Amino acid sequence: MPLDFSVVLGYWPVLLKGLALTLAFTGVCAVLGSLLGFAVSMLRQVKLKLVRLPLTLYVEFFRGTPLLIQLFWVFFCFPVVFRLDIPPYVSVLIALTLYMGAITSETFRGALKSIASEQHDACTALGLTSKVKVLYVIFPQALLRAVPPLLSNVVSLFKESALISSVGVADLMFVGQNISNSTARPVEFLSAVAVIYFLVAFPLTRLVGVVEGRLLRRYAY
């Protein structure tokens, strides 16, 4: 069968709908995972081993195992372990958020270490509470320092999110596979899916360099 990429045009609305779902999962899990990662990075600085050890195990487990295994484990094992009926969309949200939380916790941990000790001493001298110190002094500086690697993490999450098609969620990859199977034109549709992923991811990777070069070098340090 000769290649005919014009057949892709008739399926653009469906592909874009799948892309919208992919972007929605990426955006929500990036925000939730980043907040989780910051909380984990702060708690891992606590001297109490009872707090640090479980969090360290969580981070190392999710950083050291494939995301596909994590998706399958949450999708198949969570309902059995917790005796709950968890929809596929919720399973994906849980798995991607936990994965994002683990990798961003290391990003924030590095950013927190870069904050000078004088900042902590100044907060103590001013009599600021721990909550005020974290929210208004530590978090803004850590976030600014962590922006480039956080954006890189978001790009990675966007690309890794293609794996959620394996648990039956109708994202861009799932839609592209279904259409290619039903039309018997895998080259045209899988190529189109690859191009769409590239068109979204490439500008984000360029944005990382722009932010780091023009903003962080001027304001963060």
Q: What is the pLDDT of residue 216?
A: 56
pLDDT band at 217, cuts 50/70/90? low
Q: Give the pLDDT confidence of 95-128 residue by residue, as tens digits.
A: 999 999 999 999 888 887 777 778 778 888 888 8
* Mean pLDDT of all residues belonging to the chain: 87
Average pLDDT over residues 25-31: 95
Q: Please classify residue 90 by burial: count the beta carbons closer than 10 Å to its beta carbon, then call 0-12 exposed, 13-18 middle and 19+ buried.
A: middle
Torsion on CA atoms 175, 33, 145, 139, rounded to nearest 10: 150
pTM over 0.75, yes/no: yes
- In angstroms, the CA 120 to CA 132 distance is 12
Burial class of residue 178, CB neighbours in 10 A (0-12, 13-18, 19+): middle
If you average pLDDT over residues 187-210, what whole number do you get? 90
Helix (H, G, I), strand (E, B) or coil at 54: helix
